[in-house]
Amino acid sequence: FKPLSEEDALGQSLIEMREELIKAKKEEEKRQEENIHRNWASQGVALFSDILRKNNDNLEKLSYEIISNMVRYTNSNQGGIFIANDTDRDHIILEMTACYAYDRQKFLTKKIEVGEGLVGRCYQEKERIYLTEIPDNYIKITSGLGDNNPTCLLLIPLTYNDNVFGIMEISSFNKYQDYEVEFMERIGESIAATVSITKSNIQTALLLEQSQQQ
């Protein structure tokens, strides 16, 4: 619709009403999208809270349950959990305790020095690393179509009380949205707290066993 002229008051009013309706529709669509994102995040928090509550006595099992569910929940393709082995405080090693890809568990043995590669750098800097341009030969996603580089790679430090307990690395053919990254960082804090408790429980059980043997 076009008004007859600039003096066409009724026509101008119709134009303004049309613009207001378009604006209102966009705002409503934005609210609906935000509600969808909030519900998705809330359901995810509930899911992982349950996982963390049920698996706090075995680091390998805990790691696998976390990464397998995170890959599926975020529609990612593969991921891994690295836990800091600080038995020797002067030589901390990041050990891969679980990795998951395309609905199957991968059994890999991988140890990384602090500062080494992206995982070691993420641990050292205590900051997330989000890449949409992946270094050649860093990681491959194996599918029915062959081996391909992922579109994006996200590494999140598992931090609790300013201590980094490990790194969660996850990759996908699809770029992560801001709300997805925020969700994974939020879950990362809960993971770190549970890892802290789990390591303490394991240490306590070990000391108790040693005491009983003595």
List, in order, residues 6 or more apart from 66 with CB less than 8 Å away.
48, 51, 52, 81, 98, 168, 191
Tell me which residue has tokens 């009724």.
Answer: 10
Q: How far is CA 192 from CA 9, 75, 130, 150, 210, in A?
A: 63, 22, 19, 26, 27
Q: What is the pLDDT of residues 171-207, one digit of tens each?
A: 998 999 999 999 999 999 999 999 998 888 887 878 8
Tell me which residue has tokens 């059980």.
Answer: 205
Q: What is the pLDDT of residues 74-132, one digit of tens each?
A: 999 889 999 999 888 788 999 999 988 855 556 566 888 898 888 999 999 999 999 98
Q: Which two tokens stand for residue 181?
A: 């990254």
Judge contact between 165 and 158, C-beta under 8 A: yes
**Residues constituting the chain:** 214
Q: What is the pLDDT of residues 7-43, one digit of tens each?
A: 788 888 888 889 999 999 999 988 999 999 999 999 9
pTM score: 0.79
Written as one string, the DSSP assignment of 2-19 is --SSTT-HHHHHHHHHHH
